[in-house]
Structure 1
Amino acid sequence: MVKLANSNACTGCGACAFKCPKGCITMQENKIGTILPHIDESSCVGCHACEKVCPVLNEVLPSQSQKAYAAWSLDDEERRTSASGGIAAEMYKLAADNSYKIIGAAQQEDFCVKHEMAASIKAIEKFKNSKYVFSSAYDVFPLVKNAIRNQQKVLFIGLPCQVAAMRKIYGNAEHLLLVEVVCHGTTPVSYLRQHIDKLNKEAGDIAKRMSFRDPYTYTYTFTFTLYNADNKLFYAKRTKDGDTYQFGYHRAVSYRENCYHCRFAKPERNADITIADYHGLGLVKPAAYDAKKVSLILVNNEKGRDFVDRLIAEKRIFAEERPLEEPFKGEAQLRHPSLKTKYRKMFEEDIEKYHGDFEKAIKRAQNKYMREEKINRIMALPKCAVKKIIKIIGIK
């Protein structure tokens, strides 16, 4: 009998559904909004192809990173409008200019996120910027298969679990370049839709566009924004301002369960190239610039090195080589998965209790967090006052 990864470990990558020769596996939401594979056992022939391709049950042999760079796009507008240093956009542009098919995550009209394949740099705009929600890559699996068969080059940028799925399906295919974005976790899309519906009702408006890191409010502020059909901004809040979705994401409260057991959050990498915000810049060696709008690039093999070398040689990006150990010290996600907190455990209880109602489930955890943060700030006041007094009177 076929046995897939359990619900606590499954990433929802969809590799099993793609590989099933009978098409008897479909990706479906469970009662709390998590997308998981469902097997129609009446059609299953027990070939076990799904088990063999699962990157959780059969991990890809990862590699050690070879080089680390602090980098950013030399196109000022590209860097301004990108979530980090604009490196992903420059990768897409280099690939498209050299006849690659490019694949990235694009938000749809209903606010779900799907990977799409394109051949033109016009598609880059919808691939840009952070998307803090579960994204489905399984629709592009057959497109990648056809491209490789026709000896077309493909650049895929996705999450580590999606890259692992690609690696299990296609191995080290010569024409496939795999780039992973360091990930802290993904939130079910049903939570995002519920949140937007609530905000629409409160504002008496209808969101047609949204952003998690809006360039209008500067991407480094992590402001959640909504725009109506006239492109008018009618909502903008950060975690500290009380936005429930941002709280759930940035405090690691509302992720899929597998994200807290992630097999791919470790120093060894499955992608040719790894990119992220550069956390930890300056920890090992002084830097002449701060980490704001700076990307990390990890080169993990020769294929990745050749591509990054071209980005640098063609002056598409600024890149300074950094001590290899530095990003691993600064970015916890390169060492271990997101950790469960007491707030996460409260959310786990309440999302089950309220049958997947995100707004009801998140409030108890958020209220407790906000109360404790307020107490911590009050407790810190005397120390702050002392420091100010010392500074004013000039005691050293």
Structure 2
Amino acid sequence: MNQITEFCTGCRTCEQLCPKSCITMEYSSEGFIEPRIDVLKCVDCGLCQKKCPQNISNQLSLPKGIYAVRNKNDNEILRSASGGVFVALAKYFLEQGGACVGAAYMDNWNVGHIIVKDEKDLPRLQSSKYVQSDTMQTYTEVQKLLKNGIKVLFSGTPCQVAGLKSFLGNADTTNLLTIDLICHGVPSIKLFKSYMTWLEKKMGGCIISFNFRDKSAGWGLNYRIKIKTRTKTKTKSCVIDPYYYHFLQGNTYRECCYRCKYCKAQRIGDMTIGDYWGIEEIMPEFFSKKGISCLLLNSEKAMSYISLIQSFFYIRSSTLTDVMKHQHNLLAPTPRPQLRDTVYQSLNNEDVNYFFKEVLGYPPNCKAEFLSMLPEWIKNQLRRILFRLKNR
């Protein structure tokens, strides 16, 4: 057996199910993890192909409840990408003696799924990481937790949730709640780490903190960097950053993302969360610069949490049509752009400075460039002045 599927998402289901442990995950030339089969150990049982979530029909459900939500805790919402849904549910699970699983930054800017059992570690799982997270051995670890009667909250991309469900099979999942994210697609860890190396050289210091969804200027698409040698922070807009700009353009995703079978209204997770973009037009009275999430409850299990959700969040009923207006990946996968043909070849062949300046160039934006050069204290002063003028 040479191939499990041509649409591999790198979920690791096959690796952790293989009865002969003959499957290992290795990095492709583009920097995405893929299964490699040791043909000398393989006994052609076919389990990997049968259980691969890309090869089977997954049980998807239309949402039973659709809401706009905002966390009531200002500290929690500030550290979250949008409305702070995950962290509130995670705290509840931890208070019940449970465990939470999600993506976290690790050593050397690797990104992987970790299991958190202590509230002090929850900030590692908050906010967005716009790169593919390695699920590592979390499927096996979740299986053990469930067997021991421990509640588990698992958050990930739809294909990662599908991988977990396929891995668990017919196991008792009463204590498992899954959250899938509205996903555009994922760049490779190789691209992300190259970007961080380039960014450190550009900034002239070691980056000790990075957040794709900084909210110092309000809810939006700004990122914040903290540099060790300067003990300073810098905030920039997505439109003047090569990695961020091309992520949003869909130029750097894994090949399977352009054919994603989870980019639809029917969902794989018990819950679906994402930014409620356009809420200011749909529900202007509910809009907040702190961030609003859309929350889709897709299963009876998820619906059983509605009273809990109402205690954690400010909440408004919504419709799928309204959410879809600005969340196009609930309708279809991101279209594959022409640049995707060569972008990873260029990453492998070009100098890193040339690559991020020329290959991943972006249109000029004088306003964003000017604002990025201002010290943070000046930008904060300007925000306060504008706020006072607006509220006269």
TM over 0.5: yes
Q: Could you say what secondary structure the match of 1:72 adopts?
A: strand
Distance 1:231 1:156 in 2: 37
State the match for 2:182 in structure 1. 182
Q: Could you say what secondary structure the match of 1:79 adopts?
A: helix
| TM-score in terms of structure 2 length | 0.86
State the match for 2:227 in structure 1. 228
Give, in angstroms, the shift of residue 226 of structure 1.
Answer: 2.6
For structure 2, the 5+ residue unaligned runs are 367-392
State the match for 1:214 in structure 2. 214
State the match for 1:379 in structure 2. none
Give, in angstroms, the shift of residue 63 of structure 1.
Answer: 1.0
Distance 1:48 1:2 in 2: 11
Q: Does the 8 Å contact 1:102/1:154 carry over to 2? A: yes
Distance change (3 Å), C-alpha of 1:190 and 1:235: farther
Q: 2:46 aligns with which of 45, 48, 73?
A: 48
Distance 1:356 1:302 in 2: 51
Amino acid at match of 2:18: C
State the match for 2:285 in structure 1. 288
Q: Could you say what secondary structure the match of 2:363 adopts?
A: helix
Q: 1:346 aligns with which of 335, 339, 345?
A: 339
State the match for 1:28 in structure 2. 26
State the match for 2:315 in structure 1. 319
Q: Does the 8 Å contact 1:101/1:117 carry over to 2? A: yes
Q: Could you say what secondary structure the match of 1:36 adopts?
A: strand
Give yes or no for the alignment of 1:106 onto 2:131.
Answer: no
Q: Could you say what secondary structure the match of 1:208 adopts?
A: strand
Range 46-55 or range 224-233, more displaced: 224-233
Distance 1:307 1:231 in 2: 45
Q: Does the 8 Å contact 2:68/2:276 carry over to 1? A: yes
Give, in angstroms, the shift of residue 173 of structure 1.
Answer: 1.6
Superposed CA offset, 1:338-396 (max 9, x none): 1123xxx22422422552656645554544x517x89xxxxxxxxxxxxxxxxxxxxxx
Q: Could you say what secondary structure the match of 1:311 adopts?
A: helix
Amino acid at match of 1:209: S
Amino acid at match of 1:207: I
Distance 1:189 1:166 in 2: 21
Give, in angstroms, the shift of residue 24 of structure 1.
Answer: 1.4
Give yes or no for the alignment of 1:238 onto 2:237.
Answer: yes
Give, in angstroms, the shift of residue 13 of structure 1.
Answer: 0.7
1:61-72 alignment runs, 5 A limit: 61-72=59-70
1:360-375 alignment runs, 5 A limit: 360-361=354-355, 363-364=357-358, 366-367=360-361, 369-370=362-363
Distance change (3 Å), C-alpha of 1:239 and 1:280: closer
State the match for 2:328 in structure 1. 332
Range 287-296 or range 12-21, more displaced: 287-296
Distance 1:220 1:53 in 2: 40
Q: Could you say what secondary structure the match of 1:213 adopts?
A: strand
State the match for 1:257 in structure 2. 255
Distance 1:238 1:200 in 2: 17
Distance 2:203 2:300 in 1: 52
Q: Could you say what secondary structure the match of 2:108 adopts?
A: coil
Q: Does the 8 Å contact 2:205/2:230 carry over to 1? A: no
Distance 1:262 1:219 in 2: 31
Distance 2:357 2:134 in 1: 28
Distance 1:364 1:35 in 2: 27
| TM-score in terms of structure 1 length | 0.85
Amino acid at match of 2:175: H
Q: Does the 8 Å contact 1:94/1:311 carry over to 2? A: no
Q: 1:15 aligns with which of 13, 16, 22?
A: 13
Distance 1:150 1:356 in 2: 49
Q: Does the 8 Å contact 1:346/1:365 carry over to 2? A: no
Q: Could you say what secondary structure the match of 2:102 adopts?
A: strand
Distance change (3 Å), C-alpha of 1:234 and 1:194: farther
Q: Does the 8 Å contact 1:4/1:51 carry over to 2? A: yes
Distance 1:141 1:150 in 2: 14
State the match for 1:4 in structure 2. 4
Give yes or no for the alignment of 1:205 onto 2:205.
Answer: yes
Distance 1:40 1:205 in 2: 43
Count of aligned pairs between the two proteins: 362
Superposed CA offset, 1:249-277 (max 9, x none): 12111111111111111111111111110
Q: Could you say what secondary structure the match of 2:305 adopts?
A: helix
Q: Does the 8 Å contact 1:182/1:275 carry over to 2? A: yes
Amino acid at match of 1:189: I
Distance 1:278 1:296 in 2: 5
